[in-house]
């Protein structure tokens, strides 16, 4: 595309939805990409950050990032959570008008929005309205979500770092579980998609390393429940009883989003005064209610072993899993490049679009050894906003194994993303 | 002491109580110390690990560690949780008889027990009974507890690693809290002592680095509640209201052990079917009940800001905080040396005793810069078992600041222990 097609003006960048460990990498990637491209070429004058997404934009709360020192950018990139502040606002018609009005006022011609499927939808709506009102505004979406539930993406920036935390926490907690046996439930984030809960399977290091098996592991977690499979309480009790009666212990990973056969999330009904955001999402996180309910149920229903009632404990991993400071190196790199790629699309003259991650190398050297396997590689491509906006990707069937486990295909998919995991010694 | 005073036989080593990230360092330290000392000198033939503490010893469940390869020992040392398995058994008279009988059967003359104040008490009782029954048994206790509540110790192995996790989790979670504002409660381990909850103050990096202030920080957590100060619900609501009405957000750290003015733990009464261990400790961990209760109470009582009810979330850090794989380097080193020191006491001919940590250098270079300050240094000394056994150290007054904060003295005490913390960039 000819550079004559490019607009002159400013760029605005926003972050939206739940923060991640690498969402600032994408912010920094966009700034770097703009500075090297449209800003250097004289098309973009100022690079402005929106405080708390579109909410700050409409209030004129902006931070000038144009000349921020690269050292600060580098530190910001490795800082978890949304450095600009985030929002869960969902712009309706009137809100959109204010967004476009704010863009006019700021002379913003490039609108970058980093977030999940709701944020892609915001980006799509803003672009449509801008076109409709005759204001030329380029709108680009950069993916981000620990839930890993954006369609068209092999995986999403933010997921791998959260998956790394989940895998390491489950590895360590399983050692705790065999040290002081009992039943342990860990509740992991994931509203509609079970990817993050499934990442608990990466904790089965002993079996993974020794046998390459992921499915019939005796390492914890032995049972994994994701939202893709309807959750049945009696079946759950029977599953746990099976392990507990044989081993005297059981290690369990449960998604916060597990739902009954009607699709009603079991956790949402348990939180007193559960809060609902502008996108209609009912609160699932920030409460231990689901884990406690499952633990209480097991205490009541399980057959005592050796005359003693079972020791049952439940932990809910909580917000730390999405913002733990030590990101996956692969994730950090890809999130940065996703931002740079969005800036490059703008430089190419693209009017709108969403950045997606495509896997090129399978990363099978994790299984087969460096010489025979294929190294992990990824690249980026642009898709239409409408292809990603407001759609939810769930775990494909080949990642599931029965109603309480994930497949080796999932482990092969996820392992190259999380970075090296520690090796534990067992006596 | 002359080596003629030394006994010939085997050594047994056990781990007891809640696991930590570095309890295996102490196990490995004892093995290394014995191999270099009593084993090399021909006094100790076999070095045996008890499976699940005294429980495994009485059942003859032992692992021979005498010839385990140093590479495996090194990997075991950096593996979190109790590699031998742990126990919460509290030996009564009959149990003690079985322990001593098992020692006779194994020809064990050296009994090493790694654990907290309950474990020190087990060590003391076993030694007394052995003496009483005419069986010469050397009994040494090696400290371990994330609660940091052993008397006679400047701090306890296990604490610093858990404190590091707590500090980093609070740093990251505070970034999350300013990104999507609201009220956030984090419930942190600590039954009677608030040290680990107090470590959340190390998360105030921005203020610590820029101003050296720890007490009047605006960084989170702004409010810290420890078991040493009676917890009053109405005062708590007023504290949160004060921050929330001014800032629209509030970041709070609460110990699981907070208790009312009668000393009754608030959390214990909330867990359905709360379980009690052999030492009489009521279950506080492995449930989100306390956090959820506090969150519900705030939702009901706080004045809405801008017509909206406050967004309140509660996370309970759970078992991951005591076994997160990346230990504090200081903690790992000290835990290893504490084990080696216990083996050295045995080599010196000590009949019993508890290893304690003494601080020599204040670590004030963290504040004053390397050239002017005093580097952090620690050493070890032996104290009588009865001085440590079954006693609980709580936070001294100088570590507290009012009813909802900790002092700069605490921050200066804890900072050198946790290792370098990440530096975050704020826009």
**Average pLDDT of chain B to the nearest whole number:** 91
B254 touches chain A (CB under 8 A): no
Which of A85-94, A364-373, B117-126 is the least confident region? A364-373
- Cα–Cα distance, A182 to B10 (Å, whole number): 32
Which ipTM value was assigned to this complex? 0.94
pLDDT tens-place string over residues A113-135: 999 999 999 999 999 999 999 99
What is the structure's pLDDT at A372?
65
What is the structure's pLDDT at A286?
78
Cis bond before residue A237 (omega within 30° of 0): no
Residue B387 has pLDDT above 60, yes or no: yes
Of B63, B289, B309, the CB nearest to A288: B289
Residue A212 has pLDDT above 50, yes or no: no
What is the structure's pLDDT at A389?
95
Chain B hits for A320, Cβ within 8 Å? 169, 172-173, 315, 317
| Angle at B86 (CA atoms; ends B83, B89), nearest 5 degrees | 165
B335 close to B25: Cβ distance less than 8 angstroms: yes
Bridge partners (DSSP) of residue A308 are A305
CB contact under 8 A, B323 and A172: yes
pLDDT tens-place string over residues B42-67: 999 999 999 999 999 999 999 999 99
B19 touches chain A (CB under 8 A): yes
Which of A22-26, A295-299, B182-186 is the least confident region? A295-299
Beta strands in B119-192, from DSSP E residues, in sequence order: 138-143, 183-188
Beta strands in A138-216, from DSSP E residues, in sequence order: 138-143, 183-188
CA distances from B360 to B154, B167, B363 (A): 10, 24, 9
Which of residues 183 through 202 in chain A touch B, CB cutoff 8 A?
Answer: 184
Residue A55 has pLDDT above 60, yes or no: yes
CB contact under 8 A, A180 and B18: yes
Which of A156-160, A261-265, A384-388, B167-171 is the least confident region? A261-265
Which of residues 152 through 171 in chain A touch B, CB cutoff 8 A?
Answer: 168-169, 171
Strands A312-316 and A250-255: unpaired
pLDDT tens-place string over residues B93-113: 899 999 999 999 999 999 999
Of B172, B299, B315, the CB nearest to A324: B172
Of A78, A287, A422, the CB nearest to B314: A287
Instruction: Show the domains of chain B with their CATH numbers.
Output: 3-157+327-388 (3.40.50.450), 177-325+407-417 (3.40.50.460)
Residue identified by tokens 């959570």 is: A81
Residues of B with a catalytic annotation lie at 147
Beta-carbon contacts of residue B90 (< 8 Å; ≥ 6 apart): B118, B121, B122, B278, B279
pLDDT band at B213; cut points 50, 70, 90? very low
Residue B237 has pLDDT above 90, yes or no: yes
Bridge partners (DSSP) of residue B253 are B186, B224
Note if A147 is an active site residue: yes
The alpha carbon dihedral of A269, A272, A273, A275 has a sign of negative
State the pTM of this model.
0.95
Bridge partners (DSSP) of residue A50 are A62
Cis bond before residue B221 (omega within 30° of 0): yes
Comparing B214 with A6, which gets the higher pLDDT?
A: A6
pLDDT band at A269; cut points 50, 70, 90? confident
B73 close to B28: Cβ distance less than 8 angstroms: yes
Q: What burial letters (b/e) apply to B356-385, b meaning 16+ CB within 10 Å? A: bbebeebbbbbbeeeeebeebebebebbeb
Please state the length of chain B: 427
Among residues B296, B173, B301, the alpha carbon closest in space to that of A271 is found at: B296
Q: What is the mean pLDDT of residues A358-379?
A: 78
């Amino acid at each position: 595309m000819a550079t004559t097609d490019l607009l002159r003006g400013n760029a605005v960048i926003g972050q939206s939805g739940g923060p991640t460990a690498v969402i600032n990498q994408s912010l920094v990637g966009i700034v770097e990409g703009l500075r090297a491209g449209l800003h250097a070429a004289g098309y973009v004058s100022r690079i402005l950050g929106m405080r708390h997404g579109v909410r700050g934009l409409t209030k004129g709360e902006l931070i000038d990032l144009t000349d921020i020192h690269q050292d600060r950018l580098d530190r910001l990139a490795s800082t978890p959570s949304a450095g600009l502040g985030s929002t869960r606002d969902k712009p309706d018609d009137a809100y959109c008008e204010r967004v476009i009005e704010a863009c006019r006022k700021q002379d913003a011609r490039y609108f970058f929005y980093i977030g999940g499927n709701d944020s892609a939808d915001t980006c799509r709506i803003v672009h449509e309205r801008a076109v409709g009102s005759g204001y030329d505004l380029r709108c680009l979406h950069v993916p981000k979500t620990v839930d890993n539930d954006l369609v068209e993406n092999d995986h999403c920036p933010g997921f791998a770092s959260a998956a790394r935390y989940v895998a390491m926490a489950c590895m360590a907690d399983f050692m705790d579980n065999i040290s002081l046996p009992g039943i342990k439930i860990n509740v992991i984030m994931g509203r509609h998609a079970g990817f993050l809960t499934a990442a608990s399977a990466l904790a089965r290091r002993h079996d993974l390393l020794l046998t390459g098996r992921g499915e019939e592991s005796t390492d914890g977690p032995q049972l994994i429940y994701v939202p893709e499979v309807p959750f049945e309480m009696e079946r759950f009790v029977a599953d746990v009883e099976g392990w507990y009666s044989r081993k005297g212990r059981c290690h369990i990973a449960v998604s916060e989003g597990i739902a009954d056969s009607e699709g009603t999330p079991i956790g949402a009904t348990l939180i007193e005064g559960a809060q609902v955001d502008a996108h209609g999402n009912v609160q699932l996180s920030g409460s231990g209610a689901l884990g406690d309910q499952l633990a209480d149920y097991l205490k009541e229903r399980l057959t005592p072993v050796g005359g003693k009632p079972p020791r049952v404990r439940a932990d809910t991993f909580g917000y730390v899993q999405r913002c733990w400071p030590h990101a996956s190196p692969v994730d950090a790199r890809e999130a940065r490049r996703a931002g740079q790629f969005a800036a490059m699309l703008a430089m190419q003259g693209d009017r709108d679009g969403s950045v997606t991650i495509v896997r090129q190398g399978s990363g099978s050297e994790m299984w087969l050894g460096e010489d025979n396997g294929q190294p992990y590689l990824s690249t980026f491509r642009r898709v239409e906003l409408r292809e990603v906006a407001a759609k939810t990707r769930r775990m494909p069937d080949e990642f599931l194994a029965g109603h309480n486990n994930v497949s080796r295909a999932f482990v092969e998919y996820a392992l190259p993303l999380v970075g090296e995991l520690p090796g534990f010694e067992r006596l």
